[in-house]
Amino acid sequence: MPTTVLSNIGTLVTNDPAWGEGPLGIRHDAALVIADGRVAWVGDSAAAPAADTGYDLAGRAVLPGFVESHSHLVFAGDRAEEFAARMAGRPYAAGGIRTTIEATRAAGDDQLATTVRRLLDESLRTGSTTVECKSGYGQTVADELRSVQIAARFTDEVTLLAAHVPPPEYAGRPDDYVRMVCEQMIPRCAPHARWIDVFCERGAFDRDQAHAVLTTGIAHGLVPRVHGNQLRQGPGVRLAVELGAASVDHVSHVNGADIEALAGSDTVATLLPGADFCTRNSYPDARALLDAGVTVALGADCNPGTSYTTSLPFCIALAVREMRMTPDEAVWSATMGGAKALRRSDIGALSPGFRADAIALEAPSHLHLAYRPGVALVGRVWRAGVPVVTSRGVAR
C-alpha cells in the first residue's frame, strides 16, 4: 500500500508516553510514517524509512488533530446584537436560544447544510479533524429530525439535543415538552444519532426532566451527555455521573462533591472556555479538576449565541491564561481528552495504530499555541493520512 512519511519534525506530540517524553509522549527531530490511513511507524527523523510520498516539515511541530467534542452547527441566523448587548452589561440567560430556534425553523435544508459545511471548514483550518455536532435549534419532531440528518451528512458524532430549552409554544409547560421529546422526538431521531444530550440548568430543564430525557435516549440506544453546571451550581454533574454519561460539559460551577464524583467516574469534564469568554461567565477551575484526577477535555462550543468560534487553538490559549492549565494539559485535553469524551480509541494520538489525523504548526513547538494567541499557526492538516488543509486552504 502507498506510504507517506512526515520527517524533520521539530517537536512531535504523540500523546503516548511509550513513544516519547512525559504524558504528551514528545519526541524531537522526529518522523512518522502513515500507511492505509493510520500511523505505521514513529521514530527519529534520521532513521525514517523510505516512503512513496514525503513531507519535510523543516523543524515544525506536529500534533494529533484536535478532537472537537462539543459543537452546535445546525442553525440559521446569528445573535451578534445579543452579544453586543451582553458586552454592554446585560447578563446572559438561556432564553436567547429561542431566537435561533425561530431562524432555524424558517431556514431550508440547503441553507442549514451550507452553514454546517462552512463552520466545519473553519474548524478544519484551525486543526479540528473530528467534530461532534448537536441538534437543538429545531425543537419540533420534524425540525430535530432534519437537524440530525443534516449533521449526519458531515460527521458520525451526531448528538440529539432535543431538550435544549423549552421552545416558545411550550412556555411554562416544560413537563409537556419533555413528554413529547420522550414519546415522539427521540424514537424518530435516534436512528440518525449516536448521543443524547440535555441542558440541565435553571431556565432549561431540572434534574427529573433531564433524567427522563436521558433514560429515554438510553433506551433507544443513545449514549448520554449532559450540559451541566454552566450558570450556577446544580444537579447536572452528578446526574451525568449517575447515568454513566460520556461527558458533562461546561462545569463552570462545581463543589467538592461534584469534583469527587467526577474523579471516581469515567465521565469526562468538557470545559468550554469560549462560552465563558463570550458570556463573561466564571471560568471553570480546571486546576481543581485536574489535581483531583478528573479527565478533562476542551471544546470550542461553536454556537451562534454564546461561543461563535470554531478555534480550539483560541480555547487552548484561554485555558492556559484563564483556567490555570499548563500548555501540555491544554493540548492533551483538546486532543486525547476530546477523544475520551467521544469514547474513541482510534483518534487523539499519533502512535502506531491510531488514525493518522495530524496537524503541522508554523512553529517549532506545541507551546506556541498558548504562547502566540490569535495567530493562525496551523499550516497543514492530514485526516486519515490524506492532506485536507494545505497552504492553498481546505482541499475537497
- Going 87 to 374 to 21 to 272, the CA torsion angle's sign is positive
Reported pTM? 0.96
Question: What does the pLDDT read at residue 98?
Answer: 84
Question: What does the pLDDT read at residue 85?
Answer: 86
Assigned C-alpha cell, 136: 437543538
Question: What does the pLDDT read at residue 394?
Answer: 56
CB neighbourhood size of 114 (10 A) = 13
Instruction: Give the rounded distance of the alpha carbon of 209 from its chain centre.
Output: 25
Residue 45 CA: distances (Å) to CA of 55, 180, 306, 365: 12, 59, 44, 16
| Residue 242, C-beta contacts closer than 8 angstroms, at least 6 positions apart | none
pLDDT, tens digit only, all 396 positions of the chain = 899 999 999 999 999 999 999 999 999 999 999 999 999 999 999 999 999 999 999 999 999 999 999 999 999 999 988 888 888 887 765 557 888 999 999 999 999 999 999 999 999 999 999 999 999 999 999 999 999 999 999 999 999 999 999 999 999 999 999 999 999 999 999 999 999 999 999 989 999 999 999 999 999 999 999 999 999 999 999 999 999 999 999 999 999 999 999 999 999 999 999 999 999 999 999 999 999 999 999 999 999 999 999 999 999 999 999 999 999 999 999 999 999 999 999 999 999 999 999 999 999 999 999 999 999 999 999 999 999 998 655 554
| Residue 363, C-beta contacts closer than 8 angstroms, at least 6 positions apart | 60, 61, 369, 372, 377
Question: Which residues lie across from 297 on neighbouring strands?
Answer: 270
